[in-house]
Amino acid sequence: MKPIGGIEVRSMNYSHKNVDIGVQAYQLGEEFQMLMAGPPPTGNSFTALLELPANQAMELLHSPGAADSPTELPLKRHHNMSHRSARNHPHDCAPAFPSNAALNEGATKYSGISTAAAFGGGGQDSPESSSSANAMKVKSEPMDSGSSPNSLPHTSNPTVASKNEKHTKRKEREKGKATNKKNKTAANDNSKEGERLPYVHVRARRGQATNSHSLAERARREKINARMKLLQELVPGCSKISGTALVLDEIINHVHSLQRKVEFLSMRLAAVNPRIDFNLDSLFTAGNGSVLESNFPSMVMPLMWPDIQMLGNEQECQQQWHLGSVNQPVWTRQEGHQNLIISENSLLSYDSPANSVSLHSSQQKMEI
């Protein structure tokens, strides 16, 4: 936490001092896009933190040649401006850094900036970081620093930045909504920040809590609802039911019935297996053919083909394959049945009598 505080307060300091530069830089808005790919002017002990959306950062990273002169400070965001300028003028900030009361005031004032800076600083290690007030400041908004999605931890080295990018994108996907809201609320505290952050998407409606916990909880609830909807589409006959408990009941029944079907089919396979194990080679190929609907990878088929010809039961194989394809609509129709008994009976009905008898006997033996 402490290195975060160091970076943050440094940027605070800069934004506090150079507001006019910030405004100017904000007006230069369009030129910024290519800036970040430029080589860092200062050493790597001081790391620049940027808050960028991931696509824009990607764009910046992929065009390394188009760097403006870094002294112009053409950064689109106020965050970017502050950190970038802090990076470019470290000598400005460095003397004023440790334990300045006005500095801490500035830090609390620019909390919207500080959150992004704090998150970006999480990946960095800046050695000078020992102000207790800064640590306290960071502690006061831990959720922001943890969940700021747009902030990209850009070090001076572009390769490190590109390495960090994937991580940040993932984070953005997870927590994007909550943090955008958070940024907006932080920006609303300061009118200047609000003007300078026109890109922030607000998803919190009126009357909704903007506490970080409630935001996270809301995101979780929406995720659960989406999953539930997907499950409702997945389970047949479940899409018309409303009510979470009933839907869950249906899902449970469906999983139950599927597991029972697997159990029953494995029982049938166990009963059938000794009868056909001499035939299993042809079963292997033909089963693949029928099961996979001729979508089997062609590298396996030539491997298995000579087995059939060697066994000489190609005819039988073909015949059984046709029978399997005839039977196929039957069991696909039966899939909709929730009741296992019905499907059992119908399965047994079109079996050969010997097989059904053996199956019955095996089932009885199972139950005994």
Residue from 24, 194, 284, 314 in contact with another protein (CB under 8 A): 284
Spatial distance between the Cα atoms of 211 and 204, rounded to a whole number of angstroms: 10
Spatial distance between the Cα atoms of 104 and 92, rounded to a whole number of angstroms: 17
CB of residue 219 vs another protein: minimum separation in angstroms? Answer: 10
Spatial distance between the Cα atoms of 76 and 30, rounded to a whole number of angstroms: 7
Residue from 277, 342, 345, 360 in contact with another protein (CB under 8 A): 277
User: Is residue 259 near another protein by the rule CB under 8 A?
Assistant: yes
The stretch among 89-97, 150-158, 193-201, 327-335 that binds another protein (CB under 8 A) is 327-335
Residue 7 sits at φ, ψ, to 5 deg, of: -65, -45
User: Is residue 318 near another protein by the rule CB under 8 A?
Assistant: no
Residue from 18, 49, 320, 344 in contact with another protein (CB under 8 A): 320
Residue from 28, 324, 337, 346 in contact with another protein (CB under 8 A): 324
CA 249 → CA 224, 228, 229, 237, distances in Å?
16, 12, 14, 12
Please answer whether residues 131 and 100 qualify as being in contact, where contact means their C-beta atoms are separated by less than 8 angstroms: no
Nearer to another protein, 96 or 283 (CB): 283
The secondary structure of residue 323, as a DSSP letter, is H
Those residues with Cβ within 8 angstroms of residue 49's Cβ, 6 or more apart along the chain or in another chain: 7, 11, 79, 83, 116, 117, 120, 121, 124, 151, 153, 154
Spatial distance between the Cα atoms of 263 and 182, rounded to a whole number of angstroms: 51
User: Is residue 189 near another protein by the rule CB under 8 A?
Assistant: no
CB of residue 3 vs another protein: minimum separation in angstroms? Answer: 31
Nearer to another protein, 136 or 252 (CB): 252
Tell me the number of residues near another protein by CB under 8 A.
Answer: 70
The stretch among 33-41, 76-84, 155-163, 280-288 that binds another protein (CB under 8 A) is 280-288
CB of residue 298 vs another protein: minimum separation in angstroms? Answer: 12
**DSSP symbols for 41-99:** SS-TTS---EE--HHHHHHHHT-TT----GGG---SSHHHHHHHHHHH-HHHHTTT-TT
CB of residue 173 vs another protein: minimum separation in angstroms? Answer: 14
The stretch among 67-75, 96-104, 126-134, 249-257 that binds another protein (CB under 8 A) is 249-257
CB of residue 308 vs another protein: minimum separation in angstroms? Answer: 14
Closest CA to 22 of 91, 82, 68: 82
Cα angle: 162, vertex 180, 101; to 5 degrees: 85
Which residues sit at the interface with another protein, rule CB under 8 A? 220, 223-224, 227-228, 230-231, 233-236, 245, 248-249, 251-252, 254-256, 258-263, 265-277, 280-281, 283-284, 286-288, 290-292, 295-297, 300, 320-321, 323-324, 327-328, 331-332, 335, 351-352, 355, 362-363, 365-368
